[in-house]
Amino acid sequence: VCVCVCVCVCVCVPCLVMQVHDIQSQLRKAEMDALQSIYLNQNSHVDNHRKVDLHGLHVSESRRVVAVLLSKAYKAGRKEYTIVTGKGTHSEGDARLGPAMMSFVQALGHSCEWKGPGQLRVGMTARC
């Protein structure tokens, strides 16, 4: 327990640990706020029971979104789902999001194929 009473920044280990935890919590909240903002901006016009647009999201963020939406689509009885990843023109080197989403969806037990440039067709074949 810290017994510091000064107004200056405390540098004792317990206080530093608490500060790090607070900063990590603020960072997670900011990341989720950004994820929600980007997601809503890209998908405000989309019926998310059938399709999602992942433009602007990183692979890790996209996994979270896709896992939730595929589960909802499966429960709603959808047979097919479209994931828009883009062609990868904003990635350095080869596209990352499309191949990562294909692997992720297949790991969940669904069938997945390219529907067109930057789009995946998911066959809802497994329970999420």
- Tens-digit pLDDT profile for residues 40-86: 666 655 556 688 988 888 898 899 889 988 988 888 899 999 999 98
Strands 80-84 and 51-53: parallel
The whole-number pLDDT of residue 98 equals 93
Long-range contacts of 108-113 (CB under 8 A, 24+ apart): 108/67, 108/70, 110/70
User: Domains, the chain, ranges and CATH?
Assistant: 46-123 (3.30.1370.110)
Q: What is the mean pLDDT of the chain?
A: 81
Query: Lowest-pLDDT range, 30-34, 45-49, 65-69, 93-97?
Result: 45-49
Position 121: which residue type? R
Q: How far is CA 106 from the centre of its chain?
A: 17
Rounded to an integer, what distance in angstroms lies between the CA atom of residue 88 and that of residue 97? Answer: 7
